[in-house]
């Protein structure tokens, strides 16, 4: 021990100062929690900017390995905090998402094309699933007019449908299952059909 101390004469002094610094640091953190919080936030931001690519790569790899687990966690959180989300955001979330989509429409289209190329089998599975559900929910016994170029098939009811211009079909966001805006879109569609057929 004596030999070691001769070789490292300043060891205990440095250790003491280090411990003293730790105690001082702990005390400062307790006395200034807000400053410490802001400082840590700035440090984390600087670290992220320095290692952005590495962090993004790690997150992507983790998500790919734990995708189902993460989706389940998000779903569970939304279910448990439904009232909280409703009180905090109300209709803001859906409005914001809609506006963001409209502002970045081309970006979404390009992303969709790339995703379909990479996940072709999965895309086909979803398409088949949606079509089978639509056939089950909307048997479409009567179609009131003939197909025309640029026309979209719009369901007035699960059994009655008609072709209307694509722009008109997209002009009002609607949902037959929930009844959302069905009165407004049906009124537009019937006005178009009656005008075209000369019944008014």
Q: Do 149 and 128 share a structural domain?
A: no
Q: Do 171 and 186 share a structural domain?
A: yes
179 inside domain: yes
| DSSP assignment of 112-154 | HHHHHHHTHHHHHHHHHHHHHHHHHH----EE-S---TTEEEE
Q: Do 142 and 126 share a structural domain?
A: no
Q: Do 144 and 99 share a structural domain?
A: no
Q: Do 100 and 57 share a structural domain?
A: no
Percent of the chain with pLDDT over 90: 28
46 inside domain: yes
Model confidence over 62-75: pLDDT tens digits?
A: 988 998 898 899 88
Q: Do 151 and 127 share a structural domain?
A: no
Q: In whole angstroms, give the CA distance from residue 158 to residue 175.
A: 11
Q: Do 143 and 188 share a structural domain?
A: yes
**Number of neighbours of residue 160 by Cβ within 10 angstroms:** 15
Q: Do 193 and 148 share a structural domain?
A: yes
Number of domains composing the chain: 3
Q: Do 152 and 130 share a structural domain?
A: no
**Is residue 95 pLDDT above 70, yes or no?**
no
* Structural domain boundaries enclosing 65: 38-80
Q: In whole angstroms, give the CA distance from residue 136 to residue 90.
A: 33
**Is residue 45 pLDDT above 60, yes or no?**
yes
Distances 86 to 57, 74, 92, 94, 99 between C-alpha atoms, Å:
34, 16, 9, 11, 19
- The pLDDT of residue 114 is 92
Identify the CA nearest to 97 among candidates 111, 83, 84, 108.
108
């Amino acid at each position: 021990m004596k030999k070691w101390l001769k070789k490292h004469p300043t060891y205990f002094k440095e250790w003491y100062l280090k411990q003293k610094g730790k105690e001082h640091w702990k005390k400062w953190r307790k006395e200034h929690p807000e400053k410490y919080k802001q400082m840590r936030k700035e440090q984390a931001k600087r670290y992220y900017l320095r290692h952005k690519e590495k962090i993004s790569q790690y997150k992507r790899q983790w998500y790919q390995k734990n995708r189902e687990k993460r989706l389940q966690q998000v779903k569970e959180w939304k279910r448990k905090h439904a009232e909280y989300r409703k009180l905090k955001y109300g209709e803001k979330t859906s409005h914001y998402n809609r506006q963001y989509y409209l502002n970045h429409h081309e970006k979404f289209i390009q992303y969709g094309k790339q995703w379909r190329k990479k996940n072709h089998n999965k895309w086909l599975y979803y398409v088949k699933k949606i079509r089978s559900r639509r056939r089950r929910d909307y048997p479409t016994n009567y179609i009131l007019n003939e197909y025309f170029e640029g026309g979209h098939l719009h369901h007035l009811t699960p059994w009655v449908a008609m072709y209307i211009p694509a722009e008109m079909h997209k002009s009002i966001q609607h949902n037959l299952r929930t009844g959302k805006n069905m009165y407004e879109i049906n009124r537009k569609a019937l006005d178009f059909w009656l005008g075209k057929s000369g019944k008014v």
